[in-house]
Structure 1
Amino acid sequence: MQKNKIPIRPLLAVLGSILSVQIGAAIAKGLFPALGASVTATLRIGLSALMLLAVNRPGLKTLTKVQWRAVIPYGLCLGAMNLIYYLALSRIPLGIAVTLEFMGPLLLVVFSSKRLIEFLWVLLAAAGIALMTPWNNTNIDLFGAGMALLAGAFWAGYIVLGRRVSAVLNGGEAVTIGMLFALIITLPFAFASGGMLNFNSSMIIPAVGLALFCSAVPFSLEMYGLKYIPTKTFSILMSMEPAVGAICGLIFLKEYLSVQEYAAVVLVVIASVGATIGNRENIGKIAPDV
């Protein structure tokens, strides 16, 4: 084993997934006024599932019981995470939503860490989150904030379940089948909202872009990254989500940052870089077979 050689592609895959998701979130916010959060989430997952089915063509008939037991909860968790996060995103700014959602992966890091240096990076990331979270802002929508925190819990579950399913299925098959089960969660809410009646031809291109940027591309990249990067390292790398979310919110949604939020971005990026460098000896390990 070459301990000094860092596999760059898994790292780039995770970073690419982060940027892709935030661009997609900005697209989603443009669809919320007409379609609502649940319909937008369903479009995201449904179109992504169709794209992935065409590309990957998973062999559903050949899956073993072990594989089904891994992919079903993964897919259901994926659907819940997306639906709940979009409910949050429809009520609060992108940077705040991502920051609150990140509490789930952050707590996962805390519970899985064993070395003291890892707690330093967690504390830095936590400080960044604290700066980006306007707890003293009485105008923040409490339901939206609560949904973002709940989405964070499902995000932590997605990381754990994604690690498990990546050990028994290749990334393409896992994401594709997972998307089908994610639809089971979102479809009832989409039909109940009545927002599907508002969909028209002018929304086709944004909907396709949403599916590509939010699901098809990033989840495939994440599954590849999870195959090679330990869960705790992956989780701290994802601490870049609040920073990227705030930047994308500024660029695409004109959600301007305060000096306090810029300071938070710096802390979160430092934590991410420190975690990556500090765990370089673990990054190349393959997930064990089940």
Structure 2
Amino acid sequence: MYAYASRVRPAPPGTRLLTAVSRPDAVPPPLLMLLGMVSTQVGAAVAKQLFSATSPGGTTTLRLGLGALVLLVTARPALRLTWRALGLVVAFGVAMAVMNLTFYAALSRVPLGVAVTVGFAGPLVVSLLGSRRWSDVVWAVLAGTGVLLLAGLGGTRMDALGLLLCGLTAVGWAGYVLLGKAMSGHVDGGRGLALGMAVGALCVLPFGVVTDGAGLLDPRILLLGLGVALLSSVLPYSAELAALRRMPARVFAILLSLEPAVAALIGVVLLHELLAWSQVAGIGCVMGAALGATLVRREDT
């Protein structure tokens, strides 16, 4: 027995990582979700550090443009669409452009945890306000209280323009979710995302050209932009899609409620953005609202 154990050595960390990327079905779904969220927020942290060399508009252009190129090559979507499908793809792309452009603009003014949490509250509140359950009113109020705490209710001063941009991110995120759901009924997920991201890249291209011009073609900037695109778009989407195929949608939603906490933690570790107690409480309120609404709906079904 000892001789057999000595021959079977554990695989090195690099091998395990390559296995997780190339064979996502070999990784437990909750771990895939966590890896996707961490990848997204690390990408956002890298993007924020890019602001010293490019503007938020330039960073958004690189993320959506390079991300679209990668997805178009891998998904190879057919361009033959019905007029309704084409309209949904364009609307989805515009929502993606608004969500990303305002998010990066907000990120240049407020901490990562604050920007992600306020944006995350957008689709959550829309979902809760469309419900007829009285309990969901409680969760909507809790989410709204969390946003107010993040906005300075607890005495913490926040950049007013940054908060406005966070609000626009929430609107864009809500539109992204609603239009993505509508689009999925006419175009499959991989094709729809690739085409929508291409539309979004075209929408933000003027902002990148005006603010950064030829600077976007600098090899170092292009390399960092590719890293942001992979970390923030391609890898998280692939991980979350693989996880969703193997877990109930409600479990997926419960795990997704951890996104604001992951963003705050990445902000502390990589960007050294310490949050006030009121901001931490605000993040907790939004997460609690998302978790509570998901659990209550599960009990009702």
TM-score range, shorter chain: 0.7 to 0.9
Q: Which residue of 1 aligns with 2:99?
A: 81
Q: Give the RMSD, CA atoms, in angstroms.
A: 3.3
Q: Which residue of 2 aligns with 1:286?
A: none
Q: Greater CA deviation, 170-179 or 102-111?
A: 102-111
Q: What is the correspondence of 1:166-205 to structure 2 with a 5 Å cutoff?
A: 166-194=184-212, 196-197=214-215, 200-205=218-223
DSSP-derived class of the 2:52 partner: helix
CA distance in 1: counterparts of 2:201 and 2:74, whole angstroms? 18
Q: Which residue of 2 aligns with 1:70?
A: 88
Q: Which residue of 2 aligns with 1:3?
A: none
CA distance in 2: counterparts of 1:41 and 1:125, whole angstroms? 28
Percent identity of equivalent pairs: 38
Q: Deviations over 1:151-178 (max 9, x none)?
A: 2111111111011011111110010000
1:92 aligns with 2:103: no
Q: Which residue of 2 aligns with 1:131?
A: 149
Q: What is the correspondence of 1:84-163 to structure 2 with a 5 Å cutoff?
A: 84-135=102-153, 139-163=157-181
Aligned AA for 2:229?
A: A
Give aligned pairs, total: 274
CA distance in 1: counterparts of 2:243 and 2:182, whole angstroms? 13
Structure 1 unaligned segments of length 5 or more: list them. 1-8, 284-290
Q: Which has the higher Rg, Structure 1 or Structure 2?
A: 2
Q: Which residue of 2 aligns with 1:59?
A: 78
Q: Does the Cα contact within 8 Å between 1:171 and 1:224 map onto a contact in 2?
A: no
Residues 134 and 113 (structure 1 numbering): CA distance in 2 closer, same or farther, change over 3 Å? same
TM-score by length of 2: 0.77
Q: Which residue of 2 aligns with 1:48?
A: 67
TM-score by length of 1: 0.80
Residues 198 and 172 (structure 1 numbering): CA distance in 2 closer, same or farther, change over 3 Å? closer
Q: Does the Cα contact within 8 Å between 1:17 and 1:221 map onto a contact in 2?
A: yes
DSSP-derived class of the 1:279 partner: helix
Aligned AA for 2:122?
A: G
Q: Deviations over 1:82-112 (max 9, x none)?
A: 1121111112221222233234223302321
Q: What is the correspondence of 1:211-290 to structure 2 with a 5 Å cutoff?
A: 211-219=229-237, 239-280=257-298
- 1:15 offset after TM fit, Å? 5.9
DSSP-derived class of the 2:53 partner: helix
